[in-house]
Amino acid sequence: MAEFTMLLGGNLGDTTRTFAQAETLIAERIGLITARSRNHVTEPWGFTHERLFLNRAIQVESGRSPAEVMQTLLAIESELGRTRDGNSGYSARTIDIDILLIENQVLDLPGLTVPHPRVQERSFALAPVADIAPLLKHPVLGFTVMEMLDQSLR
Protein backbone atom coordinates (compact mmCIF):
# COMPACT_ATOMS: atom_id res chain seq x y z
CA MET A 1 0.00 0.00 0.00
CA ALA A 2 1.14 3.50 -0.79
CA GLU A 3 -0.24 6.95 0.00
CA PHE A 4 -0.91 9.06 -3.08
CA THR A 5 -1.18 12.83 -2.65
CA MET A 6 -3.41 14.20 -5.40
CA LEU A 7 -4.77 17.55 -6.46
CA LEU A 8 -8.23 18.07 -7.92
CA GLY A 9 -8.71 21.25 -9.90
CA GLY A 10 -11.35 22.65 -12.19
CA ASN A 11 -13.15 25.80 -13.26
CA LEU A 12 -15.97 24.73 -15.59
CA GLY A 13 -19.41 23.54 -14.59
CA ASP A 14 -20.38 22.73 -11.01
CA THR A 15 -16.91 22.01 -9.65
CA THR A 16 -18.10 21.13 -6.15
CA ARG A 17 -20.41 18.46 -7.59
CA THR A 18 -17.71 17.26 -9.99
CA PHE A 19 -15.22 16.91 -7.12
CA ALA A 20 -17.76 14.89 -5.11
CA GLN A 21 -18.28 12.57 -8.08
CA ALA A 22 -14.52 12.27 -8.59
CA GLU A 23 -13.93 11.36 -4.96
CA THR A 24 -16.65 8.70 -5.11
CA LEU A 25 -15.05 7.16 -8.21
CA ILE A 26 -11.54 7.37 -6.72
CA ALA A 27 -12.73 5.61 -3.56
CA GLU A 28 -14.45 2.90 -5.63
CA ARG A 29 -11.65 2.31 -8.13
CA ILE A 30 -8.37 3.31 -6.50
CA GLY A 31 -8.52 3.22 -2.72
CA LEU A 32 -9.45 4.78 0.58
CA ILE A 33 -9.41 8.59 0.79
CA THR A 34 -7.62 9.19 4.08
CA ALA A 35 -7.49 13.01 4.05
CA ARG A 36 -9.17 15.90 2.25
CA SER A 37 -8.23 19.59 2.28
CA ARG A 38 -10.61 22.46 2.41
CA ASN A 39 -11.49 24.00 -0.95
CA HIS A 40 -9.15 26.67 -2.30
CA VAL A 41 -10.25 29.20 -4.92
CA THR A 42 -7.39 30.38 -7.14
CA GLU A 43 -6.60 32.29 -10.30
CA PRO A 44 -5.93 30.23 -13.44
CA TRP A 45 -2.23 29.34 -13.77
CA GLY A 46 -0.48 29.59 -17.14
CA PHE A 47 -3.44 31.16 -18.96
CA THR A 48 -6.25 33.66 -18.43
CA HIS A 49 -9.92 32.84 -18.00
CA GLU A 50 -12.92 34.63 -16.51
CA ARG A 51 -13.67 31.79 -14.06
CA LEU A 52 -11.55 31.04 -11.01
CA PHE A 53 -10.39 27.52 -10.20
CA LEU A 54 -11.44 25.36 -7.30
CA ASN A 55 -8.61 23.21 -5.93
CA ARG A 56 -8.65 20.45 -3.32
CA ALA A 57 -5.94 18.02 -2.19
CA ILE A 58 -6.69 14.46 -1.17
CA GLN A 59 -4.61 11.59 0.10
CA VAL A 60 -5.51 8.12 -1.12
CA GLU A 61 -4.21 4.82 0.22
CA SER A 62 -3.94 2.28 -2.59
CA GLY A 63 -2.33 -1.03 -3.39
CA ARG A 64 -2.47 -0.31 -7.12
CA SER A 65 0.62 0.62 -9.09
CA PRO A 66 1.23 4.29 -9.91
CA ALA A 67 0.70 3.60 -13.62
CA GLU A 68 -2.64 1.91 -12.90
CA VAL A 69 -3.71 4.79 -10.67
CA MET A 70 -2.80 7.33 -13.37
CA GLN A 71 -4.74 5.45 -16.05
CA THR A 72 -7.75 5.23 -13.73
CA LEU A 73 -7.56 8.96 -12.98
CA LEU A 74 -7.49 9.79 -16.71
CA ALA A 75 -10.59 7.62 -17.22
CA ILE A 76 -12.36 9.34 -14.31
CA GLU A 77 -11.49 12.77 -15.74
CA SER A 78 -12.94 11.74 -19.09
CA GLU A 79 -16.12 10.38 -17.49
CA LEU A 80 -16.57 13.70 -15.72
CA GLY A 81 -16.37 15.74 -18.90
CA ARG A 82 -12.66 16.51 -19.21
CA THR A 83 -11.67 16.94 -22.83
CA ARG A 84 -8.13 17.25 -24.10
CA ASP A 85 -7.68 18.96 -27.45
CA GLY A 86 -4.11 17.80 -27.95
CA ASN A 87 -2.85 21.33 -27.30
CA SER A 88 -0.05 21.21 -24.75
CA GLY A 89 -1.08 24.57 -23.29
CA TYR A 90 -3.18 25.13 -20.20
CA SER A 91 -6.93 25.70 -20.53
CA ALA A 92 -10.20 25.78 -18.64
CA ARG A 93 -11.51 22.34 -17.62
CA THR A 94 -14.21 20.53 -15.72
CA ILE A 95 -11.62 18.59 -13.73
CA ASP A 96 -7.93 17.82 -13.60
CA ILE A 97 -6.56 15.23 -11.19
CA ASP A 98 -2.80 15.26 -10.68
CA ILE A 99 -0.66 12.89 -8.68
CA LEU A 100 1.69 15.24 -6.84
CA LEU A 101 3.57 12.86 -4.54
CA ILE A 102 3.60 9.19 -3.62
CA GLU A 103 5.29 9.06 -0.23
CA ASN A 104 9.06 9.20 -0.91
CA GLN A 105 8.91 7.67 -4.40
CA VAL A 106 10.62 9.13 -7.45
CA LEU A 107 9.20 7.90 -10.77
CA ASP A 108 9.67 8.79 -14.41
CA LEU A 109 7.19 6.69 -16.37
CA PRO A 110 5.46 7.36 -19.69
CA GLY A 111 2.67 9.80 -18.79
CA LEU A 112 3.62 10.05 -15.11
CA THR A 113 6.42 11.85 -13.31
CA VAL A 114 6.47 11.78 -9.50
CA PRO A 115 7.01 14.08 -7.73
CA HIS A 116 4.97 16.27 -10.06
CA PRO A 117 7.66 18.23 -11.95
CA ARG A 118 6.31 21.69 -11.06
CA VAL A 119 4.73 21.11 -7.66
CA GLN A 120 7.30 23.29 -5.88
CA GLU A 121 6.33 26.29 -8.09
CA ARG A 122 2.60 26.05 -7.62
CA SER A 123 1.11 27.63 -4.53
CA PHE A 124 -2.35 26.63 -5.82
CA ALA A 125 -1.28 22.99 -5.35
CA LEU A 126 0.88 23.38 -2.26
CA ALA A 127 -1.66 25.33 -0.17
CA PRO A 128 -4.31 22.55 -0.29
CA VAL A 129 -1.66 19.91 0.43
CA ALA A 130 -0.46 21.99 3.37
CA ASP A 131 -3.95 21.62 4.87
CA ILE A 132 -3.54 17.83 5.12
CA ALA A 133 0.19 17.06 5.03
CA PRO A 134 2.28 20.16 5.85
CA LEU A 135 5.35 18.13 6.83
CA LEU A 136 5.31 15.82 3.79
CA LYS A 137 8.74 16.04 2.17
CA HIS A 138 9.59 16.34 -1.49
CA PRO A 139 11.83 13.27 -2.00
CA VAL A 140 14.22 15.05 -4.39
CA LEU A 141 14.36 18.60 -3.05
CA GLY A 142 14.13 17.59 0.62
CA PHE A 143 11.78 20.46 1.49
CA THR A 144 8.47 20.03 3.29
CA VAL A 145 5.22 21.15 1.68
CA MET A 146 5.17 24.17 4.02
CA GLU A 147 8.73 25.12 3.09
CA MET A 148 7.92 24.86 -0.63
CA LEU A 149 4.73 26.88 -0.15
CA ASP A 150 6.68 29.60 1.65
CA GLN A 151 9.20 29.74 -1.21
CA SER A 152 6.51 29.75 -3.92
CA LEU A 153 4.79 32.76 -2.34
CA ARG A 154 7.93 34.92 -2.28
93 given a catalytic annotation: yes
Sequence-distant (6+) residues with CB within 8 A of 148 are 119, 120, 126, 138, 141
**Strands, E, within the chain: which ranges?**
2-10, 32-36, 40-42, 53-62, 96-102, 107-109, 112-114
Q: Which of 82, 85, 131, 150 is an active site residue?
A: 82
Average pLDDT for 95-114: 95
Mind listing the pLDDT tens digit for each residue in 46-99? 777 889 999 999 999 999 999 999 999 999 999 998 887 666 567 788 999 999
82 given a catalytic annotation: yes
Q: Would the pLDDT of 119 be above 80? A: yes
What is the reported pLDDT for 97? Answer: 96
Q: Which of 64, 98, 108, 122 is an active site residue?
A: 98
Average pLDDT for 39-49: 86
Return the CATH class of domain 2-152.
Answer: alpha beta
96 given a catalytic annotation: yes
Asked if 34 and 59 touch (Cβ cutoff 8 Å), the reply is yes
Closest CA to 26 of 5, 41, 50, 51: 5
Q: Which of 96, 122, 131, 150 is an active site residue?
A: 96
Q: Would the pLDDT of 30 be above 70? A: yes
